[in-house]
């Protein structure tokens, strides 16, 4: 991505999707009862084929409680130098682990977001004990931007 002049360049959906697949950390935005945004740092997994971002959490977390009240959600991912970003906007789906080895637990384990260091049996048991949930964000809107800055500006 280069321009004759430094400036912004809108990412195509394919470029935004590829960018999302290359990162691990994001800011997750939920909506407070007041209507204000609430942001939290999360680890996520992007599935480009399904256009779904997955985030592991627990039922007692503020973001989960807010999503139960208002499922509108956005996931913001930035490059280390902050010159590129992508956003997934959608409606959250919360999948709860209710018994060891259920569909939610298997999905968590498969993404690597749910206790991958434990054996399957241990992980499934711990997921239920912790009240672990999978937050799915199906991309209703996917967009991003990149800035083509001179190297000296990237160091600021």
CA atoms within 13 A on the CB side of 24: 3
User: pLDDT-based confidence at 129, cuts 50/70/90?
Assistant: very high
Could you tell me the two tokens for 141? 């809107």
CA distance 78 to 86: 7
Residue with tokens 């996917």: 142
The model's pLDDT over 14-64, given as tens digits with 9 standing for 90+, comes to 999 999 999 999 999 999 999 999 999 999 999 999 999 999 999 999 999
The pTM assigned to this predicted structure is: 0.86
Q: Cα–Cα–Cα angle for 96, 102, 108, nearest 5°? A: 65
Q: Burial-class residue 77 by CB neighbours within 10 Å (0-12, 13-18, 19+).
A: buried
> Average pLDDT of 98-108?
89
């Amino acid at each position: 991505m280069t321009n004759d002049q430094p400036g912004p360049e809108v990412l195509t959906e394919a470029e935004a999707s590829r960018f999302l697949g290359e990162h691990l950390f994001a800011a997750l935005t939920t909506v407070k009862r007041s209507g204000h945004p609430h942001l939290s740092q999360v680890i996520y997994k992007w599935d480009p084929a399904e256009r779904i971002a997955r985030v592991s959490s627990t039922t007692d977390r503020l973001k989960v409680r807010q999503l139960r009240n208002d499922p509108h959600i956005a996931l913001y991912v930035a490059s280390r130098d902050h010159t590129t970003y992508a956003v997934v906007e959608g409606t959250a789906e919360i999948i709860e682990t209710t018994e060891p080895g259920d569909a939610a637990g298997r999905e968590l384990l498969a993404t690597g977001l749910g206790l991958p260091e434990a054996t399957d049996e241990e992980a499934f048991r711990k997921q239920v004990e912790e009240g672990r949930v999978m937050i799915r964000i199906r991309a209703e809107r996917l967009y991003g931007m990149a800035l083509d800055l001179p190297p000296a500006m990237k160091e600021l």
